Amino acid sequence: MQITLEAISGKVKEGIRITDAEALYLFESNDLLGIGELAAFVNERKNGKRVFFNINRHINYSNICVKRCDFCAFSRKAGEAGAYTLDHAEIRGRASEALLQGATELHIVGGLHPELPFEFYLEMLRTLKSVSSSLHLKAFTAVEIDHLAGISGLGIRALLQKLIEAGLGSLPGGGAEIFAGRVRRKLCPDKISGERWLEIMEHAHRQGLGSNATMLYGHLEDFADRIDHFRRLRELQDRTGGFQAFVPLPFQPENSRLSMERVAATTGLDDLKTLAIARLYLDNFENIKAYWVMLGEKTAQVALAFGANDLDGTVIEEKIGHDAGADSPQSLSLAKIVRLIRKAGKIPVERDTLYHPLREY
Ligand code: V47
Ligand code: SF4
């Protein structure tokens, strides 16, 4: 049968999965509104008019990293200008501030530090939990988990168990970049492979740790690579059900080696289409997050009409996107998030990290 948007729409409405060829057809189509309408239909069927957000704070404990991913404007070598590592007192101070501002979650990630001992990470989690046992610690990408396995000498299962005992609540979705080896070898040649990222997530899910999944797009990949990424996530989600949300991350082109190669920022059309196709393809993901830090507030708001049901959070002190030139503000107030969602004709719902509703506005 010939692939058309009408045929895809018929399948989707019957709850039948779209194929890779159909996803490619959608990526190559310029019928943004047709694709968006279908994604919005699927989203409303799952989530009604409710749009989630949470109150969180990012803590990037160190930007010192032994890797040099071509797209990253955040990392520094030890001793380089701008390199920093927060000590536990500073980390505790940030958590206390976050608590006063109503945060329920801390999003904690950093570079792969050449010298910090494993105990630093355990102590960091314990310190944060001692600020308030109710703060959810969403910490360490699969790339950091692999690094911690290396420095602790532990297998992934034993390592995760120790981190859980110290207070880890879930894993963020970073480090996935793009799984396809051909692109990954150019983009971040010495980072763990896509296969290893998926293996670590599978371990985490089987140990009861939820996680998110990201995809960094708009650099060297093509549409087939994005679909390959989606397919591997959908397959893992079929096996474990452990992914809480999918978060597409548009490449921010400033201050990195990749920007020297004149990779331009993504367009609004590409951002909205990618979100909408993610909603259609990833039929086993409940939540598609429009991450306003990288999309910008206005595109993130419009994304709510293209299949997204989560605006992430109030996000205080984000560094990774802002070091790479993201021109969104450093944080959004609760009032502003609520307004963005209401003005999109939706109902704002504050959630916790595990997507339990806390308060409807
Ligand atoms: O892994 C790095 C990406 C990620 C750039 O799980 C860049 O809820 C764009 O994963 N342009 C970290 N992206 C951020 C992240 C994240 C953010 C928000 C929510 C969640 C979640 C996860 O940022 C990295 C990398 O993929 N990144 N540099 C850049 N120049
Ligand atoms: Fe290091 Fe992560 Fe930046 Fe790569 S993306 S250089 S691993 S901080």
Q: What is the DSSP string of 164-227?
A: HHHTEEEE--TT-S---HHHHHHHSTTSPPHHHHHHHHHHHHHTT-EEEEEEEESSS--HHHHH
Residue 154 has pLDDT above 70, yes or no: yes
Residues with CB under 6 A from ligand 2: 65, 67-69, 72, 74-75, 111-112, 143, 188, 191
Residue 243 has pLDDT above 90, yes or no: yes
Count of all residues that appear for the chain in the document: 361
| The predicted structure's pLDDT at residue 315 | 72
Quote the mean pLDDT of the chain.
Answer: 95
Proximal ligand: closest to the CA of 74: 2
Q: What would be the CATH architecture of the domain defined by 5-360?
A: Alpha-Beta Barrel (3.20)
pLDDT tens digits, residue range 275-292? 999 999 999 999 999 999
C-beta of residue 104 within 8 angstroms of C-beta of residue 134: yes
| The predicted structure's pLDDT at residue 254 | 87
Rounded Cα–Cα distance for residues 210 and 354 (Å)? 8
State in Å, rounded, how far the first CA of the chain is from the last one. 46
pLDDT, mean of residues 236-242: 98
Q: Which residue has the tokens 């959004």?
A: 332
pLDDT tens digits, residue range 58-71? 999 999 999 989 99
Residue 355 CA to ligand 2 center (angstroms) comes to 28
Ligand 2 atom showing the smallest separation from residue 71 Cα: 5
Percent of the residues in the chain that have a pLDDT greater than 90, as a whole number: 89
Residue closest by Cα to atom 7 of ligand 2: 67
Residue 258 CA to ligand 2 center (angstroms) comes to 13
Neighbouring C-beta atoms of residue 199, cutoff 10 Å: 16
Q: Hey, is 2 helix, strand or coil?
A: coil
Q: What residue segments make up the domains of the chain, in order of their start? A: 5-360
Ligand 1 atom showing the smallest separation from residue 252 Cα: 11
Report angle CA 168, 232, 305 to the nearest 5 degrees.
80
CA 258 to chain centre: 20
Residue 228 CA to ligand 2 center (angstroms) comes to 22
pLDDT tens digits, residue range 174-231? 999 999 999 999 999 999 999 999 999 999 999 999 999 999 999 999 999 999 999 9
| The predicted structure's pLDDT at residue 322 | 82
C-beta of residue 23 within 8 angstroms of C-beta of residue 281: yes
pLDDT tens digits, residue range 293-329? 999 999 999 999 999 999 988 877 777 788 888 877 7
Question: Does the CA dihedral 214-216-182-221 come out positive or negative?
Answer: positive
Which residues 6+ apart lie within 8 Å of 114 measured at CB?
64, 66, 78
Rounded Cα–Cα distance for residues 239 and 183 (Å)? 26
Global pTM reads 0.96
Residue 255 has pLDDT above 90, yes or no: no
| The predicted structure's pLDDT at residue 260 | 65
pLDDT, mean of residues 143-154: 98
Mutate to test the pocket of ligand 2, among 62, 68, 69, 188 (most ligand atoms within 8 A of CB): 69
C-beta of residue 250 within 8 angstroms of C-beta of residue 256: no
pLDDT tens digits, residue range 66-124? 998 999 999 999 999 999 999 999 999 999 999 998 999 999 999 999 999 999 999 99
Rounded Cα–Cα distance for residues 6 and 31 (Å)? 12
- Host H or E run for residue 53: strand 50-54
Rg from Cα positions in the chain? 19
Residue 258 has pLDDT above 90, yes or no: no
Residue closest by Cα to atom 4 of ligand 1: 174
Classify strands 310-313 and 50-54 as parallel, antiparallel or unpaired: parallel
| The predicted structure's pLDDT at residue 319 | 78
